[in-house]
Amino acid sequence: MSVLKITGENFENEVLNSSKPVIVDFYADWCGPCKMMSPVIDKIAEELGEEVKVGKINSDENMELAEKYGIMSIPTIMIFKNGNLDKTFVGVTDKTSIIEAIK
C-alpha cells in the first residue's frame, strides 16, 4: 500500500472516519530526522499493506492540523484507531515500536 498525502481537506475522511487504524507522520521537507523516518514509514506501509492506512502530513503546509494536535517537534508519528488518537511517538522511532502500537 502506498503512503497517502493527508491534508486539512482530507484528514477527517482519511483519518477520523477510517475503519482501519491510521499511522500519521507529521513531517517537514527541511527536517533531517523526518528524512530518516521516511523509509521507515514507507516500509511499514509496505509490510502492513491493507491492514492499516499510512499517511504523511506536511506540518508546514498544514499548520492548522499541527496546531490542533499539539505538534511541537517533528517527526511526530500518531496512531489513530476508530477516529481517536491512540499513541504518539516524537522523534526518530524504530519500526518495531510503531508496528507493535498498531497491533
d(CA 31, CA 17): 29
Which set of grid coordinates corresponds to residue 18? 477510517
Please, which residues bridge with residue 5 across strands?
56
Q: Is 82 left (phi over 0), alpha (psi -120 to 50) or beta?
A: left
Q: Is 4 a known active-site residue?
A: no
Q: Is 31 a known active-site residue?
A: yes
Q: Which three-class secondary structure state does DSSP give residue 7?
A: coil
Which residue is catalytic, options 34, 41, 52, 79? Answer: 34
d(CA 91, CA 73): 7
Which residue is catalytic, options 1, 28, 31, 101? Answer: 31
The catalytic site residues sit at 31, 34
